[in-house]
Chains A and B, each alone.
Chain A
């Protein structure tokens, strides 16, 4: 079959089995075409002689040229549990992901695994994931302010001055410590992350988050070495989670309490026992 449908009582996902990618998301009474891709920005390599020649590094995201979308066919395997449904995506030798929905849980979980980022070609790379939809967001998107206030961002604009947007990709990147979202008059897509990341909406209907970076040059802002994970020889593997929520537009975007579950999940302690344990009153 050309399509794989994965559903619980609250969420329905459709995958295109020819490409292996996500196609549509249905939840909260809404349906939206949402494609997810992974992309690579090549890190700019400068000589740091003056600011315009500064390399992409620990402090600066400065891509060289446009994004390269990883568009090889994704290998899928699907686990159809009773309460848990999982689609395991194998994107390439160093990018993979689990897309997961749970019964009675109104969100889609993306657990990504990226690395070690190859640098055999002597090029630093910055890996992002991008969610594309048909939502007409008209240049606006929203990011949190350290997990509290939600701030409206407008592509290629600043609130109090006219910006120089000659570096249009990084110039539109904002810190995302908890969530990023976009919306039109009807629908909203929110992404919640489990760690501080950079994020943006470079086109209407699109959201992207930076997942992992490995760079070969220092940016001359102070750290004095490249962000190259060289101590570990082959580079690091990072694993993390993103929650996606599609819902109706009503008031300001807010998922503050859910946001906490991502970085403050239950602590687990293990003991051997034959009997049931109880908590003292």
Chain B
């Protein structure tokens, strides 16, 4: 509960009008970053404990990836083989969304909780994202699949032996540079 209190307090501070609108000084913005990061990482312990109780993965890691916005996840960057993705739907109603998981260019099979295959495909990350400074370049693709989630749903990702060739699906229209 201490972790959750910290997150609750950090979120309370983020209701300040300067935090909402971005009219805080740069040093204050950096301090908000620090507070939020610390609070989020702290609350991951509570999320993991809760998800261990709510699923049959009693020793699951339930790791978050805070760099998914730049298509990076250290948990999947070496291999996304035998990885469970647990999706939690924060909405008050069921929702169907396409999910993207940073992954290597391999041939994957994604299955739902009943072991049924869910269609998935691997697509390249745009090269300007790959070129971002400080971004580790280990992951150059994303695995995409469609998920319907009531509140919580689990999907298992496994790697199949045959490598997938995506190059033939790509068409390139270069600009004429002066």
Interface residues of A (CB under 8 A from B): 4, 17, 20, 58-59, 72-84, 86, 88, 90, 96, 98, 102, 104-105, 113, 196, 221-225, 227-231, 234, 237, 239, 257, 260-261, 264-280
Contacts of A83 in B (CB 8 A): 98, 119, 121, 144, 146
Report the minimum CB–CB distance from B62 to chain A (whole Å): 4
Q: Can you sample 13 A-B contacts with CB below 8 Å?
A: A86-B123, A96-B129, A105-B98, A223-B25, A227-B22, A228-B26, A268-B87, A270-B63, A271-B86, A272-B83, A276-B115, A277-B86, A278-B56
Contacts of B57 in A (CB 8 A): 271, 273, 277
Roughly how many angstroms separate A82 CA and B164 CA in the complex, as a whole number? 14
Whether B126 lies near A96 (C-beta < 8 A) is yes
Q: Does B9 contact A (CB under 8 A)?
A: no
Interface residues of B (CB under 8 A from A): 18, 20-27, 30, 47-48, 51, 53-57, 60-65, 68-70, 73, 75-76, 82-91, 93, 95, 97-99, 101, 111-115, 119, 121, 123-124, 126-129, 132-133, 144, 146-147, 149, 151-154, 156, 166, 169-176
**CB nearest neighbor in B for A257:** B93
Given A4-B173, A268-B86, A278-B154, verify A84-B144 contact (CB < 8 Å): yes
**CB nearest neighbor in B for A231:** B26
Whether B82 lies near A81 (C-beta < 8 A) is no
Whether B54 lies near A279 (C-beta < 8 A) is yes
Contacts of B121 in A (CB 8 A): 81-84
Contacts of B20 in A (CB 8 A): 196
Of B62, B87, B175, the contact of A266 (CB 8 Å cutoff): B87
Given A20-B175, A279-B154, verify A223-B144 contact (CB < 8 Å): no
Whether A73 lies near B55 (C-beta < 8 A) is no
Whether A75 lies near B86 (C-beta < 8 A) is no
Given A277-B57, A280-B56, verify A270-B27 contact (CB < 8 Å): no
Whether A58 lies near B91 (C-beta < 8 A) is no
Roughly how many angstroms separate A198 CA and B127 CA in the complex, as a whole number? 28
Roughly how many angstroms separate A266 CA and B17 CA in the complex, as a whole number? 27
Roughly how many angstroms separate A58 CA and B20 CA in the complex, as a whole number? 12
Given A73-B175, A79-B123, verify A277-B55 contact (CB < 8 Å): yes
Whether B84 lies near A79 (C-beta < 8 A) is no
Report the minimum CB–CB distance from B42 to chain A (whole Å): 16
Contacts of B97 in A (CB 8 A): 261, 265-266
Report the minimum CB–CB distance from A193 to chain B (whole Å): 15
